[in-house]
Structure 1
Amino acid sequence: MQNNVSQAVDYNSICQIVPTTSESVLHPFVDPLNNHLPGFSINTPSRIAHFLAQVAHESGGFRHRWENLNYSATALTTLFAKYFPNQVMAESYARQPEAIANRIYASRMGNGTEASGDGWRFRGRGLIQLTGRENYLRRGQWLGENLISEPERVAEDLNICVLSACWYWQSKRLNTFADEDDILHITRRINGGLHGLAERKAYLDRAKAVFAKEFNL
């Protein structure tokens, strides 16, 4: 078993793990990561490495904390054929992120109808995207925060952004698979498949190399 580490990451190591993102974007995450990961037992080199690899991929290298829904008509018919069954409908929604969100997330995950605006209001936010009114409600209750009234805080408040991802990690019991170095199982639990696996592995390899030096592994 790996020994617990005193902090999750420092300024230098996070820049090595996510080299394509500017320091100005990465540095504000260092304190929230160090403050909150230990509370979820994400506290060994392997657990921290796997966590960072997954959230780095999911957030586009920590650059994107909210869902990009600016899809073309072709993308809508390809990715969301259930909601856009023909080209005419897709073209009427294309490049309108708010309208797209309201359609694809309507009447599920606790959201109201398309006209309610819940799809856009409770679109994906965070390092591992939180989506849907019901999930915002549950996560907010756990945090002691009113995320229904202020859903944007999941993206804007970096403490909540990190805590939300930690909560998801814990709820899926991903530390167990990190201990087994099982990136495939972790990716499936987060993504539902293996999308972006090569990039996730690249982040993981860099994290392992950084921690091997730092902790003399």
Structure 2
Amino acid sequence: MRLTTTIIAAGCGATQLRAAQWLPPIQAACDKYGIAEPLDVAAFLATLGAESGRLVYTREIWGPTLAQQGYEPPSKKASELGNTQPGDGRRFCGRGLIQITGRRNYTLAAIGLDLDLVNHPELLEQPVNAALSAAWYWASRKLSALAITGDFLGVSRAVNLGSATSKAMPLHYSERLALYVAAKKSLGLI
């Protein structure tokens, strides 16, 4: 599917200028990972918009907050993220348009993207890599299967809670849903 600045702006909630800047990397990422069906594209763009603050952030804002302090070993969350070394929480904070977080996920993304992300995690802040990592994440978790059936809640739960079967409501779901509706409108689906 050929994306436009208008489609990206609507689906991600971004300005036209920001959408124009992101058009080439997002288009390339969608092409590489086969994100092409209209409902898939709508869900992907809405997720990018929600996860990146409307295409503003490619790096998690670091406090550290109480939750971010939990990224440090020896916590349970650090273990889940594969963070084993002191400083891993900050070093492997969320990066990319769908934020890759934790040493384990950076290692997997490094293999999938053929980038040295363990030694250079900041590579995920670059627009091309930020978009590719989001599409890689999408493909590696088979989110297109949920998206093309219109299960946007399932997609949102899988991205934000780590499980499509979770009963909890994803973070900022009303914002995600509004972006999804806008994306579907821009694609002529509604």
- TM-score tier, shorter chain, comes to 0.7 to 0.9
User: Which residue is 2:27 aligned to?
Assistant: 34
Structure of larger gyration radius: 1
What is aligned with 2:115? 145
Q: CA deviation at 1:71?
A: 5.8
Higher relative contact order (Cα pairs below 8 Å, separated by 6+ residues) = 2
| Pick aligned residue for 1:56 from 49, 55, 63 | 49
TM-fit CA distance, 1:112: 2.8
Alignment gaps of 5+ in structure 2: 74-78, 162-167
Of 181, 189, 199, the match for 2:175: 199
Q: Sequence identity of aligned pairs in percent?
A: 31
The count of residues paired between Structure 1 and Structure 2 equals 177
1:174 pairs with one of 143, 153, 170 = 143
The correspondence of residues 1-217 of structure 1 with structure 2, limited to 5 A, is 5=1, 7=2, 9-19=3-13, 21-70=14-63, 76=66, 80=67, 101=68, 103-107=69-73, 108=79, 109-113=81-85, 116-155=86-125, 157-192=126-161, 193=168, 194-212=170-188
- C-alpha distance in structure 1 between counterparts of 2:8 and 2:145, whole Å: 23
Q: 1:186 to 1:18 in 2, by over 3 A?
A: closer
Unaligned runs of 5+ in 1: 81-100
Aligned to 2:165: none
CA separation of 1:178 and 1:130: change in aligned 2, threshold 3 A: same
Q: What is the distance in 1 between the residues matched to 2:149 and 2:6?
A: 27
TM-score, structure 2 length as denominator? 0.84
CA distance in 2, matches of 1:70, 1:22: 27
Local SS of the residue matching 1:212? coil
